[in-house]
Amino acid sequence: MKLSEAGERALVELARKICRRGPQVRIGIGDDAAAVDIDGGCLVATTDMLVASRHFPPRTTPEQMGRRAVVVNLSDLAAMGAEPLGLVFSVGLPRRLEVKFVERLVRGMDVAAREHGTHVVGGDLDESEEVVISGAAFGVASRRELLTRSGARAGDLIAVTGRLGAAAAGLKLLLKRLPAKGYRALVRAQLEPRARVPEGRVLAWSGFVTSAIDVTDGLAANLWQLARESKVKLIIERERLPEHPLVRRFAARHGFRVVDFVLFGGEDFELLFTVRPRGWEKVRRALKRVGTTATPIGRAASGRGVFVQRNKKIQVLPDRGYEHFR
């Protein structure tokens, strides 16, 4: 079987079966980040790789490349409810690049890290055929606060922070080289994302959030990941999904489907989570205090799978989104 037939998720499961879980490993392969027990708490660590030809659309500046490299890693820590301690990067660079490019790239990393309350603390440089950035972030969380993909239970509310679809619409605009006038917020969402680090801490502190994941592969794919890991059925209401206000206008103007951006597009870096109903108002107010809205979009129930309800009709939501090798 070739990688194009297996896909990224099957390879993750393969690694999960092969790699033995050590006695201090609280969360291993398969979640947003790994967690290892240390001194009464957990060290939380994650890694992510960006390859220029695959991950950076046209018009991406070196500063924006550096920012994305930081955000993709910190977003994983946010989904676990961890407080970041630092980041390290291994960067492959073609020898034809100007030194100024590297300076701008590293400045983008530094600015983004400090905006999120942490720092770049080390790394490695090597020569490569194209720009490759492999980053790792590490943070801490108490064992009680640690959020995972596997804690959702029947009766929980399903909720998501912020608005959805902007990054995917921005990517479409850039790839199709469409006019950006009036849609610069969509382009910014794609090229200058932010990780929901304070929001992740709020969810972890609340005591009512039962599971979480960051929305990177697309809301539909991430819902399926939560459902599989938690062994529950998730039912969302299409009318309640919080669309970015520009997405519908952009889609209508250029003949795209809104659902492709909101449900299947990905890279929003919002947090999708489940919460006990009695704690919803507390969680909503706590998120509001850090400047973020959250929207309940459905419920968890006994069973398996992910379903979408619209106009009183319920149907299976396709497990579709971004997946490497496919």
- Chain segment 135-189, per-residue pLDDT in tens: 999 999 999 999 999 999 999 999 999 999 999 999 999 999 999 999 999 999 9
Strand order in the sheet with 233-237: 209-215, 270-275, 157-161, 294-301, 233-237, 305-310, 313-316
- DSSP reduced 3-state for 69: helix
Do 273 and 206 form a contact (C-beta atoms < 8 A)?
Answer: no
For the chain, residues with pLDDT lower than 70 are none
Give the per-residue SS3 of 177-240: CCCCCCCHHHHHHHHCCCCCHHHHHHHHHHCCEEEEEEECCCHHHHHHHHHHHHCCEEEEEHHH
Q: What share of the chain is helix, strand, coil (3-state, %, to 5)?
A: 40, 30, 35
pLDDT at 201: 97
pLDDT at 312: 82
Q: Which residue reads 């917020």 in tokens? A: 185
CATH class, 157-316 region: alpha beta
Q: What is the CATH number of domain 3-142?
A: 3.30.1330.10
Q: Where are the domains of the chain?
A: 3-142, 157-316
pLDDT at 314: 94
pLDDT at 141: 96
- DSSP reduced 3-state for 247: helix
What percentage of the chain exceeds 70 in pLDDT?
Answer: 100
Nearest residue to 55 via CA among 186, 165, 183, 190:
190
Q: What are the residues facing 34 on neighbouring strands? A: 45
Integer angstrom CA distances of residue 260 from 162, 247, 257: 18, 10, 6
pLDDT at 12: 87
Neighbouring C-alpha atoms within 13 Å toward the C-beta of 245:
3
Query: Are 3-142 and 157-316 in the same CATH fold?
Result: no
End-to-end Cα, the chain, rounded Å: 13
